[in-house]
Amino acid sequence: MISFDSSLNLIKKCVLKSLKSEFIDINESFGRILASDLYSKCDYPRENLSSMDGAVIFKSDLNLKEIEIIGEIKAGDTFTNDFNKGQTKLIFTGGIVPGKNKVIIPKEQFLISKNKLIIKDRKIQNFIRIKGSDFKKKELCLSKNTKMNCRTIALAAAMRINKIEVIKKPNVIVIMTGDELISSDKEKPLVISTNQIMIKKIVNDFGGSLKNIYIVKDKIEELEKLIKKLRDFDILITSGGISRGKYDLVKKVLCNLKMKILFDRVSIKPGKPTTFGKFSKNRYFLGLPGNPVSCFTSLVFFFSKFINCFYGSDYLKITKTKLILNNNLKTNKHLTTFLRIKKIKNKPNFFNVFSKQDSAQMKILSESNGILIRKPYEKNLIKGTECDVLLYENIVRNNI
């Protein structure tokens, strides 16, 4: 049996960064990883622009008593004629500043009388955004391996980029095993495939591309026939059938198909039977236990590790939060233990650990909003102890 930390390190060692990429529309790139550097196709701003509503004059005209107004410049005007000394144009924020040697007088600092500009305050700051002052044409603005968010997408759009090269998402195929999940013509299945719901959501939210979900009976020939047909996947995920019972057939079938098992028992609770393996050509296998809580926790910790290794970056930043324990916990046993917890409503900095931690209890999993990870042989924890907990809300937080 392998330790929890060792199992994560083994995934990190064996899963290679993907070299597969694709071009997508910039507007569809939220959460994707850049596969190449992005250089701007233009200067930004594209011209000298006013940063204020006001008037544009020659700098040398600041001491004139009055200046003739000959027009206006709006944001969006693609061109404007220059003017002579002694003349001015009203200008609005984002308007192009014509010619050279100009200053912008904010509207609060002048009066208008009979189409003449009369300056009240001659202390002028620089209210001109200089062409290319943000970034210049051919400047490197976004580096390879950047995770795209709304700010970087907006930047790429300002760079006049329409399509970008990103790392392809890992193609994921899921197989649910168990006769109890199969319905017949006359009867509904004995068990609802709840793991299927969780796997689908987590795979997509964690950055995978779920291609298909299959449900098969506990029969070697059916499972083997299905797996032989599978094509174009980066990781195969199964739920159920990986323990040591008579009908736990998944590992046997996969080994017959030349998959190498990297680990098949982890010293964790729940999730001990979790299995990880590797096919040829950088294709991988993650076997999840059938009990829903075990399935959930193993998917959160092991699939997230796979995703980060696949992308070659901390694509998923699973951060912990410090909260105060509201009940007493005995010394932990030899396994790394994942305990379901719940924050206390009227005490937001405190949490309770559920007394029932059975790996099949869906209601408690639903009511929980985080996990306390206890290390092997960790000493007893008393009420009032500050602990690092993993809140579900922090597992997948869309980065704006």
β pairing state of 110-113 and 116-119? antiparallel
Decide if domain 4-20+169-311 falls under CATH 1.10.240.10. Answer: no
pLDDT, position 184? 46
Residue 335: how many CA atoms within 13 Å on its side-chain side?
Answer: 13
Report residues of the chain scoring pLDDT below 50: 182-184, 186
Q: Domains of the chain: which residue ranges?
A: 4-20+169-311, 21-44+134-167, 49-129, 321-395
Of how many residues is the chain composed? 400
321-395: CATH architecture: Beta Barrel (2.40)
pLDDT, tens digit, 9 for 90 and up, residues 191-229: 567 899 999 999 999 999 999 999 898 888 999 999 999
Domains 49-129 and 321-395 share a fold: no
Query: What is the greatest pairwise CA distance in the chain?
Result: 99
pLDDT, position 395? 81
pLDDT, position 44? 97
Cβ contact 87:68 at 8 Å = yes
Q: How far, in Å, CA of 32 to CA of 166, rounded?
A: 6
Cβ contact 360:387 at 8 Å = no
Ordered DSSP codes for 307-342: HHHHHTS--S----EEEEE-S-BPPP-SSEEEEEEE
At the top level of CATH, which class does the domain 49-129 belong to?
A: mainly beta
β pairing state of 284-288 and 275-278? antiparallel
21-44+134-167: CATH architecture: Alpha-Beta Complex (3.90)
Q: How far, in Å, CA of 324 to CA of 388, rounded?
A: 9
